A and B are shown apart, each in its own frame.
Chain A
Amino acid sequence: MSTKRGWSYAVSVGTCLAVAALATAESVVVCCKYLYTWPSDPALQGPEGPCSGTVAYVCEDGSTSAGYTDPLRLFHGQTLRYARCYLYNLGAGQSFVRTSCEAPPAGALLVGSLGNGMCCYIVGPTKPVPMLSLRTFQLADCAGACNDPSSQD
């Protein structure tokens, strides 16, 4: 009887240890860093939405350490991550330009992606200097959301 119990304990402990080890495995980094969101607060966007007028607020989104094929991601628990946000207030000589991400205007500064292959830029003789803020987000499954392979971590 004690032999059977010992055998059962050994198998149970061994199995638990193996599962725990797999559960602590690092996720595969598959998500891009430069996904963008544009909070819809009217005080933080121009009169025609993101990339219009003289003000724009854009935040980085997504995760840098979550694998969308990771079957054990639930065991990793939810971890708060910080995403950076940028608030642009344009000077008199600066303008927002919405154009294809494939064809940025000469000398323009990229503000962020608007989706559908369109990007927001700032043009002007002087460099815009955004103010910075932080927002938190949970690790997210961002499968298929990468739009710039070169920006993967």
Chain B
Amino acid sequence: MSRSIHCAVAVGAALCSSREAMAQTDSLNVFLDRYVPRQGVVEATYLAKPGFAGEMQFGFDAATGAWYEVSHLGATLRRANGEILEGDPYPGMLKPSKRIKAFSADIAVMEWCPPCFLRLVALGNVPVDNVEALPEGGYRFRIRSDQALPDVPALVNEVDASGVLRRVARDDPADPREANVVYSEKSPAGFLLRAETAGRNLATASVHEGGVRDFESVARVESLAAQSRVNTARTLAAMSGGSLVGTNPADGAVEGTPSVPAASPPLSGYRWPLVVLGVVLIAAAVVYRVRGRGQL
């Protein structure tokens, strides 16, 4: 009898705990929904620091939760229905990704547009746990970045009483990497953007209040990626003082200009004719010399 009571209590406690967690998550979502953008498209360009090349462009549709990221390496497009497309920065390369799930890829949005990311959380697109209300207002919650990669630590986020993401830390005591989120003064109205991402600084940003009709268009995103690739190639070419610089896109560099010429000097094309001519002259001289001795 006592064992049954214990069991009932234990099961009840687990259920209560689970319901409590759900209630806290619901509370978080209701809170965030008051502050995150729900309409409009924001697009931003981040440029590499001086001496480096490699711009990045981002876009987020607050109405649907769709977003894209493009660079010289390629493009990622996340559709409202959760589909992820990835590919190299060339026309026709964007294809459904088998590499990653949508909720894991959504972490990328936090790296440039935290309110956009919080919008995804509010939409229920990103699983959260360990939600707790903060005494001063706001919430702390944890996001599991990818359940398929157990070695990747979860991220703990702190949102203040105004719904602004203020701190991010890794759920890893050995390497918490706790940091305040720094926003750019160039942030457009309604969307606070990070001042820096992946080492790059925010250069331009714009908001389309009425949305962008073909925001989820594969052709549009591929075109942006191709342009990013070309821009990066031009920057690299300028670094080389106008010399031609070429690379293989497969290894993370940039294509778009011819390869560096081989080390062969300009006369290499005349090699064999020169050899033949030299041999002929030497042979002629030897023959002439021999004949001259014979005549003496």
Query: B-contacting residues of A (Cβ < 8 Å)?
Result: 3, 6-7, 10-11, 13-22, 24-27, 34, 54-55, 65-66, 76-77, 79, 81-82, 84, 86-89, 91-93, 95, 105-107, 123-134, 139
Contacts and interface: CB of A to CB of B under 8 A. Distances in A.
A17 B260 contact: no
A95 to B, nearest CB: 7
A92 B155 contact: yes
A131 B53 contact: yes
A18 to B, nearest CB: 4
B107 A54 contact: no
B146 interface: yes
Interface string B225-257: 000000010001001100101010001111000
B278 interface: yes
Nearest to A29: B262
Contact of A20 (B71, B74, B267): B267
Interface stretch (B2-10, B19-27, B207-215, B281-289): B281-289
Contacts of B73: 127, 129
Interface stretch (B37-45, B183-191, B195-203): B195-203
Given A17-B281, A93-B155, A129 B56 contact: yes
B236 A79 contact: no
Contact of A89 (B99, B175, B199, B272): B199
Interface of B: 48-49, 51-54, 56, 71-74, 76, 99-100, 104-105, 107-108, 110-111, 145-146, 149, 151-153, 155, 168, 170, 175, 177, 179, 197-200, 232, 236, 239-240, 243, 245, 247, 251-254, 260, 262-265, 267-268, 270-275, 277-282, 284-286, 288-289, 292
A92 B281 contact: no
A21 to B, nearest CB: 4
B282 A134 contact: no
A123 B240 CA distance: 32
Contacts of B240: 82, 134
Contact of B111 (A66, A92, A139): A92
A129 B155 CA distance: 20
Contact of B271 (A21, A87, A92, A95): A21
B152 A14 contact: no
A11 B282 contact: yes
B273 to A, nearest CB: 8
B168 A92 contact: yes
Contacts of A34: 251
A98 to B, nearest CB: 13
A130 to B, nearest CB: 6
B271 to A, nearest CB: 5
B272 to A, nearest CB: 7
Contacts of A6: 285, 288
11 contacts: A10-B281, A10-B285, A14-B279, A14-B282, A18-B279, A25-B268, A87-B52, A92-B111, A124-B145, A129-B54, A131-B52
B100 A125 contact: yes
